[in-house]
Amino acid sequence: MPWRPDRGFLKWRAGAPRRVLLLDGEMPEADLRARLMNVAAAGDPPGRPIDRGAFEILAADRVKRGIGNLGSPLVQAELDPWLEGVELLILDTCRA
């Protein structure tokens, strides 16, 4: 998987484990977790376990009104606590 320091992705290498936040405005968290577990298990070699707190998922079903418009200061303020310590932010299907 791209965030593994020993493997890299295309021309990028992490060099060390990084804290990752995946922000998805469409899929429910349970579906995202299941999909990522399948991807990690299918790796060659299979991925090592991810440290607790190293990879967080914030899906629309975990936010009261959904993810919302990321350009809105109110939405930014609501999401700000999730960004504490995050070194890589992945945005997927975020739309107003």
pLDDT in tens, the chain (96 residues): 445 556 667 787 777 778 889 998 888 899 988 988 887 777 666 556 667 778 888 888 887 777 888 888 988 888 899 899 999 899 887 655
* Cβ–Cβ under 8 Å, residues 3 and 57: no
Judged on CB neighbours under 10 Å (0-12, 13-18, 19+), 46 is exposed
**SS3 of the chain: helix, strand, coil, percent, to 5:** 30, 20, 55
The H-assigned helical ranges of the chain are: 29-41, 73-79
